[in-house]
Structure 1
Amino acid sequence: MARDPTIAYVLLRNAHFGPRLASAVELCVRDLVRHSRYAASTLVVCPNVDRPFDGIRIETVPDAPLGGNLAKAWGVGRLLRRLRVDLAVVENHLPVAALIASASGAPTILHSHAYEKAPSGALKRTARDFELRRIAGLAFVSEDCANRFRSNFPNAQAPMRAVPNGLDMTEWSDSVPKETTILSVGRGLDDKGHIEAMAAIARLLPLRPQWNARFILSAIDREPGIVRELRNAAAQFGDRIRIDTNLPYGEVKAAWEKAAAGMVLTKTPEPFGRTALEALASGTALMASGLGGLAEVCGPDALIVDPADPDGVARGLASLIDAPGLRAKLARSGRARVERLFDIRAVAKRMDDFVDEVLARRG
């Protein structure tokens, strides 16, 4: 019987492959590996972490005193060659993926969670085309992400697939008693729409004493003015608006499962939108901007508003929190949508099938 292929998922840059500070990318990798039919022969190469996710073999990114991520990428490629890895899946960075492919000799899939910008100028176009020729497959977190890549890189020849984030729906509950809380989760950046969410909440709470709000923010050092502005706006409400930062993933999950209403108001197109997925999985009635990949996550099962229209956001939130029937309807349909389209078993199978296709093409 032929052995299962040895697969390496590669996380560089500021990745934290553990439950304390994992981002959407690390959580996606964890879930794909745990539910892969090749889980026993898969490892994750990542920066050193104090407490990694349980049950997954990791190898630490080799040190590279000089040269930054590209030097680390070369070291990772050499490590994969020594480990005789059959295929690498590199998260998010085309030049790094191309370098790892060259150094390892293994077919390499670029797994993109972001919009890859079109190259500007002939020199950059030549460089990107050179790198793409080394890539054996391209996986994207949404069809929107894949379509933008096709438009920006018309010369790409590698097979492409959309493989979204998934959730293990046996671990997500919509039966936890709901609290009259409005929840907004994400990085503490202007683009994430927390300021717009806060403005709507501040307009509505004075006349709805039974409701409160909570913000759970990460990456708060990148735009500290945003967090400061949120705290200033919340101050007048005392403990009715709570702002937490850099919570472990388990606490974020528990917060979604308790919240009656959620807001994901990203102001520019989102490649995917894992926070929206988690809200829907929790049976939280969701209001979202619906831009980019968020439209694929939410479909018709969230209330869609324009974050640039403060009156519209406030009206939408009022309709959500004042209508228990609407909340219940969205909670049911949102949960069903995730079970139907984003259960991790189906998503992991999609990635495994793509791995098989790439390996077969390299034959």
Structure 2
Amino acid sequence: MRFGPSNATSIDLCVHDLILASRYREETRILCCENETLFPGLHISTYPPSIDRRKAKKIKFALAQARSNSADVIVVQQHLPTAAGVARRSPMPVILHKHNMTKPIPPTGFFNRVRRSWRIRQHNALAGIMFVSEACRDEFRADWPEISTPMAVVYNGLDFDQWQPAEHPRNEIICVGRAAPEKGIKDAAEAIVRVLAAEPLWSARFILSESQRFPDYLQSVIETLKPVADRTTVELNQTLPVVRQRLQEAAIAIVPSRWEEPFGRTALEAHAAGCAVISSGTGGLREVSGDYALFLPKDFTAKDIADRLEQLVSDEAKRTRLASEGRDYCLQKFALKAVSESADRFYQRIKA
């Protein structure tokens, strides 16, 4: 992972925020690979890339740090093999914090049965599993009924005091996400071209991360936007403060993800920033927005996005209401202090 403000992933941001608001903040040590920047104000121990490339070395480093710091609980982010490896070698309870959906393994065929049995043993070696949404937990339970490890849902949280919506947002449509096909970015671009052609007073902005992963896809997005290039801005790999500022200035945010989002932090940030949100509603996205987004159909097209954009562009009252009610809903459900307290309670339960 990249535990620093210049290049943090959504997982890094989630962990940073949870620890920052935790009652165990001063007793918590974060272990991560060396990075160009590190988040300030937290106790962090780093290891070099030579260790990061080898699971066995990471496990050895983690156990040595846990022993020297007299750890009560070890929390491993996302990576089951590392969590299970630590759990097998440690007398301390180990929690796996899952930030994505878990792929099922069918119980048919010899090799599948072997793989499934091994995966079950890995999970059952853990002291606890945290999921970022009810959607993640419920799908996991349905696919892996044999796993009896204690489970909890701990959402991503936000410090809403850091998010201040503009009193008069720009007539701007914004789309933030990875430049990847499963994020539906090109569909959003096609929809925006349609809408801006009919709405000369509006503009659009894309803030895209991981721009080197799918260069051809990114180029196709840029090509798609050429007809409205004079009113469209594409920014790559921006820091959270820049993303926050851009979201706070925009009126409408599109979250057109085509895959089953485990949570949907991008949607949460858009609500916090005071945007009216258009969402695909996949996975955990419906939990994030509640009834306060315009949702797309399951197999949506660019036209579906454009239709909802037109609703919001042409109806300022609806746009304002959706933005205000969406922020209020998220403030009640995802305020960082309450979310961090739910994580702390689970740590305490497992420790006991």
Aligned to 1:7: none
| Alignment check: 8 A CA contact 2:34 2:48 kept | no
Aligned to 1:101: 87
Instruction: Write out per-residue CA displacement over residues 12-49 of structure 1, whole angstroms, 9 at most, x where no aligned residue.
Output: xxx11111111110000010000001111011111111
Aligned to 2:99: 113
SS of the residue 1:290 aligns to: coil
| Alignment check: 8 A CA contact 2:178 2:211 kept | yes
One-letter amino acid of the counterpart of residue 101, structure 2: Y
Distance 2:62 2:167 in 1: 43
Aligned to 2:232: 241
The alignment status of 1:83 with 2:69, answered yes or no, reads yes
Mapping for residues 262-277 of structure 1, pairs under 5 Å: 262-277=253-268
| Alignment check: 8 A CA contact 2:33 2:52 kept | no
One-letter amino acid of the counterpart of residue 315, structure 1: D
SS of the residue 1:242 aligns to: strand
5+ residue gaps, structure 2: 107-111
Q: What is the TM-score normalised by the length of structure 1?
A: 0.92
| Alignment check: 8 A CA contact 1:92 1:110 kept | yes
Aligned to 1:289: 280
The alignment status of 1:164 with 2:155, answered yes or no, reads yes
What is the CA distance between 1:177 and its match in structure 2? 3.2
SS of the residue 2:281 aligns to: coil
Q: Select the residue among 216, 219, 222 that pairs with 2:213.
A: 222
Instruction: Write out per-residue CA displacement over residues 181-223 of structure 1, whole angstroms, 9 at most, x where no aligned residue.
Output: 1000011100101111011100111121111111101111211
Matched residue count: 346
SS of the residue 1:237 aligns to: helix
Aligned to 2:335: 343
The alignment status of 1:130 with 2:109, answered yes or no, reads no
Distance 1:255 1:176 in 2: 14
Aligned to 1:317: 309
What is the CA distance between 1:125 and its match in structure 2? 1.4
| Alignment check: 8 A CA contact 1:77 1:101 kept | no
| Alignment check: 8 A CA contact 1:61 1:76 kept | no
5+ residue gaps, structure 1: 1-14
| Alignment check: 8 A CA contact 2:262 2:283 kept | yes
Change in Cα spacing, 1:325 to 1:40, as seen in structure 2 (3 Å) is: same
SS of the residue 1:243 aligns to: strand
One-letter amino acid of the counterpart of residue 57, structure 1: H
Distance 1:349 1:55 in 2: 19
Distance 1:202 1:333 in 2: 28
SS of the residue 2:171 aligns to: strand
SS of the residue 1:90 aligns to: strand
One-letter amino acid of the counterpart of residue 345, structure 2: D
**RMSD of equivalent CA atoms:** 1.6
Q: What is the TM-score normalised by the length of structure 2?
A: 0.94
SS of the residue 1:349 aligns to: helix
Q: Select the residue among 321, 324, 327 that pairs with 1:329.
A: 321
Distance 1:147 1:129 in 2: 16
Q: Select the residue among 24, 27, 33 that pairs with 1:47.
A: 33
| Alignment check: 8 A CA contact 1:182 1:263 kept | yes
Distance 1:44 1:67 in 2: 18
Q: Select the residue among 292, 308, 317 that pairs with 1:301.
A: 292
Distance 2:51 2:294 in 1: 49
What is the CA distance between 1:237 and its match in structure 2? 2.0
The alignment status of 1:255 with 2:246, answered yes or no, reads yes
Change in Cα spacing, 1:71 to 1:181, as seen in structure 2 (3 Å) is: same
- The answer to which of 201-210 and 80-89 deviates more is 80-89
Aligned to 1:203: 194
Change in Cα spacing, 1:206 to 1:47, as seen in structure 2 (3 Å) is: same
SS of the residue 1:318 aligns to: helix
Q: Select the residue among 334, 345, 351 that pairs with 1:353.
A: 345
Change in Cα spacing, 1:68 to 1:312, as seen in structure 2 (3 Å) is: same
| Alignment check: 8 A CA contact 2:34 2:47 kept | yes
- The answer to which of 342-351 and 126-135 deviates more is 126-135
What is the CA distance between 1:268 and its match in structure 2? 2.0
SS of the residue 1:28 aligns to: helix
Distance 1:227 1:56 in 2: 35
SS of the residue 1:236 aligns to: helix
Distance 2:83 2:336 in 1: 25
What is the CA distance between 1:315 and its match in structure 2? 0.8
What is the CA distance between 1:313 and its match in structure 2? 1.7
Distance 1:176 1:225 in 2: 38
Distance 2:123 2:103 in 1: 14
Change in Cα spacing, 1:334 to 1:52, as seen in structure 2 (3 Å) is: same
Aligned to 1:18: 4
What is the CA distance between 1:64 and its match in structure 2? 4.5
Change in Cα spacing, 1:116 to 1:287, as seen in structure 2 (3 Å) is: same
Distance 2:231 2:53 in 1: 48
Change in Cα spacing, 1:67 to 1:203, as seen in structure 2 (3 Å) is: closer
Distance 1:69 1:82 in 2: 20
Distance 1:135 1:324 in 2: 51
One-letter amino acid of the counterpart of residue 222, structure 1: R
